[in-house]
Amino acid sequence: MKILLVYPYFIDKRINEEDVSAIPMGLYYVGAMLRANGYAVDILNGHHLGSAPHRIYQVLGEKQPDVVGFSILHANRWGGIDIARMVKKVNPKATVVFGGVGATFLWKHLLTHFPEIDYVVRGEGEHCFLELIRFLQKKRAKAPVHIDGLAFRNAGEPFKTEDRKPVAQLDSLPMPADHFSFQHISLTRGCPAGCTFCGSPALWKRRVRFHSADYFVSQMVRLRDKGVSFFYVSDDTFTLKRELVIDICRRIIAQRLDVVWAAISRVDGVDEEVLGWMRRAGCTQISYGVESGSREIRDRYRKRISEADIGRAFDLTVRYGILARAYFIYGGPGESNQSIDESLALIRRIRPLSAIFYILDLFPGTALYEDYKQRTGTTDDIWLDRVEDMLYFETDATLSKTAVLSFGRRLREGYLSMLPEFARKIDLIDDPELYALHADFLSRLALTFSHGDYAINPLVENNLATAVMLFERSLQYHPDHRAFWGLGLVYQHLRRFDESLAVLKRGIEHHKTSLDLRMALANSLMRLNRYPEARQCLEAIPDHPRSVELIIRCCRLMRDRVGEQTWMSRLSRLQLG
């Protein structure tokens, strides 16, 4: 039996593509469980295929799956339905299974209105999906009423079996890294908090289960051996058990994994010791849900965090050289210009170096959605419209679209105008053991101002001056390779070639084998018409992809015909080879 697992596309374009472009971990866990039990499984990331149905038909033609399972996060359910229709067109006998948080809460709606969906796996999918595959293989005529956690049409009506008990030991699950390669990993399932805009409380019943440090780090090692060196730790709150996190960090350090990772936490879930270990183990970013500067609005979201907790977490995180990212929600119940002022005032106090602002939306499984249904008598049939989700303000007569959009503009513009000041005020802990890591942190941040998101955003003023300041600060801590290179390039861009030469030469003294520093140096020399030196510099790095081409240019400008011919023939050999 051939199985294809699909992560479908979203129908709307997103501001933060990175938040939704990766296949959810759950699909890898299901895939690993099936492979570990001898089934042929492929996983398709259909996130980018919304406008390319021919590609999907091509995959279906190549793979000829008997069963296609979909990971539905609610907002991508239309992508799932579109692809399910294609599956049935190619092979009407193929079985279509929906799973994931979006399908779990809408199982009845999906089975009522979409005949192309045969089964819905509710909740944790690994064992339920495996039992369903075994059932399908036996081609029994009876309905699978014995499989807990499943839903299907029984005598034409949507029907669900008993809820499945949660997996007691997460470590008992086959390790996805044994079968697939990916960047998102997790330590836990569930979150103890009860935020009203979040589906986690209803999905996991506010209970949390943990992998062991051994499982988590072994997974990281296996992925690192496959070439993955940057990880997103996608737990709702990674630091729930501080001793476990410290154990993990100790192991990453002891095994010299040399990995970099980003995590998510709560502002009341971190302290100095944990942050110190996380930084030493390669953590470069922690995202925190702040949601609003208004206490009243946070209370409405049941986000039980105090302003003191928020301030302390952001302050400490940055002091340990970890970028603290803030999530804000706006356009929710009670939002006004005054509450936006309070959010901007909080932003000024906590100085986040990255911030994401979302309009509050409602989706099944959240307390706010249930409240909306009760208030208005609406049913799940609203999801028959081809929309991803519903923005809260559309359900609240006291909020207009114009007002909410202006709230968003105020937040983004206000935040970005403060950002260079936040960068200037970074206060790092004075611990010599952390100096190299501080340099790494500052040069990473500098790069976002010189070459990354903040470089191209017109709302960020003085981006190059900020980058120079950060690169220079980085070098005060440690001879950081990225800082030499980035600073050399920024000086080049500012036509401050002598300073560029000086910093790149200093960099080469510390990083003698760096191709990037030598290439940047050669470029600066050429901009100063110092072709013989540039050529000499390039001849020391003949393996750099641009070296030969630039050496030829130097020869030409130096009118060295012999050199030019020699290097031209070398270029031809390289192109032929």
Residue 293 contacts residue 337 (beta carbons within 8 Å): no
Nearer to ligand SF4, 77 or 266 (CB): 266
What count of other Cβ atoms lies within 10 Å of the Cβ of residue 377?
6
Residue 233 CB, nearest distance to ligand SF4 (Å)? 14
Q: Which residues ranging from 404 to 433 are in contact with ligand SF4 (CB under 6 A)?
A: none
Residue 354 CB, nearest distance to ligand SF4 (Å)? 17
Distance between CA atoms of 552 and 119, rounded to whole angstroms? 64
- Binding piece for ligand SF4, criterion CB under 6 A, among 192-200, 454-462, 478-486, 501-509: 192-200
Residue 199 CB, nearest distance to ligand SF4 (Å)? 8
Nearer to ligand SF4, 361 or 516 (CB): 361
Give the pair of three-digit tokens for residue 211. 């992998």
Nearer to ligand SF4, 200 or 292 (CB): 200
Give the pair of three-digit tokens for residue 63. 């793979």
Pick from 266, 444, 478, 518 the residue near ligand SF4 by CB under 6 A. Answer: 266
Residue 228 contacts residue 28 (beta carbons within 8 Å): no
Residue 186 CB, nearest distance to ligand SF4 (Å)? 12
Q: What is the 3-class SS of 428-452, one letter each residue?
A: CCCCHHHHHHHHHHHHHHHHHHHCC
Nearer to ligand SF4, 193 or 347 (CB): 193
Q: Does 548 bind ligand SF4 (CB under 6 A)?
A: no
Give the pair of three-digit tokens for residue 24. 């959810």
Residue 378 CB, nearest distance to ligand SF4 (Å)? 23
**Which residues face 97 on adjacent strands?**
69, 119
Nearer to ligand SF4, 95 or 237 (CB): 237
Pick from 6, 117, 195, 323 the residue near ligand SF4 by CB under 6 A. Answer: 195
Pick from 191, 263, 283, 434 the residue near ligand SF4 by CB under 6 A. Answer: 191
Q: Does 364 bind ligand SF4 (CB under 6 A)?
A: no
Distance between CA atoms of 128 and 122, rounded to whole angstroms? 8
For the beta sheet containing 283-291, the strands, ordered from the edge strand earlier in sequence to the opposite edge, are 184-185, 230-233, 260-265, 283-291, 323-330, 354-359
Buried b vs exposed e over 231-248: b needs ≥16 C-beta within 10 Å?
bbbbbbbbbbbeebbbbb
x/- mask, ligand SF4, residues 278-317, rule CB under 6 A, reads -----------x----------------------------
How many chain residues interact with ligand SF4 (CB under 6 A)?
Answer: 11
Residue among 522, 519, 523 at smallest CA distance from 544: 519
Distance between CA atoms of 518 and 501, rounded to whole angstroms? 10
What count of other Cβ atoms lies within 10 Å of the Cβ of residue 252?
25
Residue 166 CB, nearest distance to ligand SF4 (Å)? 16
x/- mask, ligand SF4, residues 218-257, rule CB under 6 A, reads ------------------xx--------------------
x/- mask, ligand SF4, residues 197-216, rule CB under 6 A, reads -x-xx---------------
- Binding piece for ligand SF4, criterion CB under 6 A, among 187-195, 491-499, 516-524, 562-570: 187-195
Give the pair of three-digit tokens for residue 495. 């036509």
Distance between CA atoms of 287 and 353, rounded to whole angstroms? 11
| Per-residue CA distances from 473 to 161, 372, 469, 482, 507 (Å) | 61, 51, 6, 12, 15
Nearer to ligand SF4, 89 or 205 (CB): 205
Letter for the amino acid at 400? S
Nearer to ligand SF4, 24 or 201 (CB): 201
> E strands, 234-379, where?
260-265, 283-291, 323-330, 354-359, 361-362
Nearer to ligand SF4, 74 or 266 (CB): 266
Distance between CA atoms of 344 and 293, rounded to whole angstroms? 7
Q: Which residues of the chain form contacts with ligand SF4 (CB under 6 A)? A: 191, 193-195, 198, 200-201, 236-237, 266, 289
